[in-house]
Chain A
Amino acid sequence: MSKVKKRKSLNREGQSSGIAVNAVLLFLVILWTIPTFGILVTSFRVKDNVFATGWWKAFSDDSGFTLENYGQVLAGRDYKLKSDTNGNSPVKGDNMAGAFLNSISVTVPAVVIPILIAAFAAYGFAWLDFPGRRPLFILIVALLVVPLQISLIPVLRDYQKLKLNGTYLGIWLAHTGFGLPLATYLLFNYISTIPRSILESAFIDGASHFTTFVRLILPLSVPALASFAIFQFLWVWNDMLVALVFLSGAGAKMQVVTVRLLNLIGSRGQDWQLLTSGAFISMILPLTVFLALQKFFIRGLMAGSVKE
């Protein structure tokens, strides 16, 4: 804790420079947030206004703001179907709850599996000596360069043979495969910097590699695991290409949020106002994950364990 305090005093070396830094930060944040702010404003606007004027005119509109877009995205869109017999009959569209559950079912295992597998491999590359260690590692880093689009078709062909197409297992494995080079690379960079004195003391105590990995390496690597978890979570959560390729065989019941959003603009005309409210709802979970995990970046984890 004392470390944190020292750090604070360091940052506030001069009050004036602190204010300047904060002013720059605030200015940049405002600039940075304008595009997202535009989406937020649009998500509360009435449909007709969205197409008539830019979002910055929303504040001078007479019709003001509405919660209708959020209601329609959450509870299902109302469609007025014109029929010859009863005039207009309202029809409820699909809501997004199912798509959310699908996205969560896809994302959580697709984040956890690659992290575990990559951490195992990163430990192997960083701390075990074996023939072919360097060439193998270089191969993995080199494979970061393979564009995802190239792998999709051969993998899809194999999936159809194995009947993995349109299954959760199939998309978990696909995301694991595509995320693995980056995960292995990032975790290796971190795990290889763990002071060797820590590992040596574990081996002197007679710990096996597996015990060392589970009891020492994993807890010490939390910052790196957290940052990769954030990246992978976002990547899978926002992915549309992989979901379209591997899950569309399963039809609407396995549609994820991004695909559902795409359908909002696609099949039912230009429902951009729904797209914007849907976008904000779909950001809640990644934002929560980011805010929850960012505290793990806090330094001192490593330093503390060496001294004690």
Chain B
Amino acid sequence: MNKKKIPKSSFHQVKAPMLFLLPNMLIFFIFIIIPAVSGLRMSLYEWSILGEHDYSGLLNFINLVKDHSFWNSLGNTIRYVFFVVPLLTASSLFIALLVSGQEKSVGLFRGFYYLPTMLSFIIVGISWRWILGDQIGIVNYLLTSIGGKSVRWLTSPAMATASLIFITVWAQTGFYMVMFVGGLQAIPETLFEAARIDGANVFQIFRKIKFPMIRPTMLVVVVLATINAFKAFELIFVLTKGGPGTATKFLVQSIYQVAFEEDRMGYASSMAVVLMVIIGFLTFIQFKLNKKDYANE
């Protein structure tokens, strides 16, 4: 990712880095590493919040393999991530390309696309029920008023997943758009001038200048979108509560239910460990692929 070579003669230090990193590392250990390690440990126990903690080795993981509801929520999650990440990246890049200029009007447009990210998820949930709800939604109202059939957007298994993907894209595009706009605005002006002198058209400028130059931003967006999609919980909980049936029940919701409703902290931790391993593996692959592409250029 960072390919700069730092000459040891001028920059090699030990004391200064310690001071610069110390606060970060301290908070890291307390809030992330220690909880993660204790989660890892809990996955090897039968663990309830108030009761006994019995060491059970890999039993939790063995049970996971046989657990249909776990596989179901894992499948749901992967399907959701598979669609959300490319759609979200494409839509935020597309809009960023349209609004990356400096004009006042474009700044205002950016504000409008950014609006949904400012809503808390309860509000997002309610606003989409008024759009996709069976009885109270405007889409079905319009469909039936032109003689069509109303669609069960949030209450039939297939449509509920599609609706959730669409709403996620709507709610998060503004967030990633801001990142792409930052990346696009950091491209040196001279590149565009040179391209214009050479008579390049809009698509050539995108393919030959903008796209290669925003590759690092793209990596950040894809990595974050993947991680966030795997962790999706609140929006789904408000809109479908995992239903109909378990059609939109995702991994984090399963973890939450097993941990807090069934009080099986150890089993929930083993699910969380699986989630961490999957996300960690995908992130690793994304970094590797990106590096390889750089090398080819």
Which residues of A are in contact with B by a Cβ distance under 8 Å? 3-4, 6-8, 10-11, 13, 17, 21-22, 24-25, 28-29, 32-36, 38-39, 42, 54-56, 117-118, 120-121, 123-131, 133, 136, 140-151, 153-155, 158, 173-174, 176-178, 180-182, 184-186, 188-189, 192-193, 196, 200, 203, 209, 213, 223-224, 227, 230-231, 234, 238, 240-241, 258, 261-262, 265, 272, 275-276, 279, 282-283, 286-287, 290-291, 294-295, 297-300, 302-303
- B8, B230, B276: the one contacting A129 at CB < 8 Å is B8
- A151 touching B231 by the CB < 8 A rule? no
Q: Which of A154, A176, A262, A287 has the most CB of B within 10 A?
A: A154
B143 at the A interface (CB under 8 A): no
Across the A-B interface, give the 9 residue pairs with the lowest CB-CB distance, nearest first: A177-B31, A124-B20, A121-B24, A299-B185, A151-B35, A145-B279, A130-B17, A154-B35, A35-B127
Tell me, rounded to whole Å, the shortest Cβ–Cβ distance linking B191 to chain A: 11
B196 touching A130 by the CB < 8 A rule? Answer: no
Instruction: Give complex CA distance A149, B118 in Å.
Output: 22
B119–A143 touching, CB < 8 Å: no
A129 and B127: CB pair below 8 A?
no
Q: Across the two chains, which residue of chain B brings its CB closest to A7?
A: B102
Interchain nearest-CB distance for A276 vs B (Å):
8
Residues of A within 8 A of B122 (CB): 240, 258, 261-262, 265, 275
With A7-B101, A120-B20, A282-B120 as given contacts, are A146 and B182 in contact (CB-CB < 8 Å)? Answer: no
Please judge, given known A-B contacts A141-B283, A174-B31, whether A227 and B13 are in contact too, CB under 8 Å: no
A3 to B182, CA, bound (A): 16
B236 lies within 8 A of chain A by Cβ: no
Nearest Cβ in chain A — how far from B201, in angstroms?
Answer: 9
Identify which of A54, A130, A148 contacts B13 (C-beta below 8 A): A130
| B102 pairs with A283, CB closer than 8 A | no
How distant is the Cα of A186 from the Cα of B105 in the complex, in angstroms?
Answer: 28
* B187-230 at interface with A (beta carbon < 8 Å): 187-189, 192-193, 196, 202, 216, 220, 223-224, 227, 230
CA distance A149 to B35 in the complex (A): 10
Whether A203 and B10, one on each chain, are in contact in the complex, defined by CB atoms closer than 8 angstroms, is yes
